[in-house]
Amino acid sequence: MRLSELAKGSSVMLGVIVAGYVSTSYVDQRFATSKTASAPAQTTGPAPAACVDEDGSWKHWSWPNVPALSPKCK
């Protein structure tokens, strides 16, 4: 490996690192919200646990993924 090849590889690597940092900073500023602005109002009690109803539908689960082996609703 010659010195010119090492310099080219190092400059490419540095460019990738800088581009990753800049894009991460942009995404954080553009899409991240502050925790105080996005936090829902505090309720009086804990949130109900996710469970499976008798018909197989999910209750108290707002995410698109579904955990396996969840408890039945009481």
* Residue 69 CA from chain centroid, whole number: 24
pLDDT score, position 51: 83
How would you classify the pairing of strands 58-59 and 51-52? antiparallel
Model pLDDT, residue 60: 79
Per-residue confidence band for 12, with pLDDT thresholds at 50, 70 and 90: very high
- Beta strands per DSSP E along 1-74: 51-52, 58-59
Whether the CB-CB separation of 59 and 72 falls below 8 Å is answered with no
**52 strand-pairing partners:** 58, 72
Q: What is the pLDDT of residue 36?
A: 47
Q: What is the pLDDT of residues 14-53, one digit of tens each?
A: 999 999 999 988 888 877 665 545 555 555 556 677 788 8
pLDDT at 18: 95
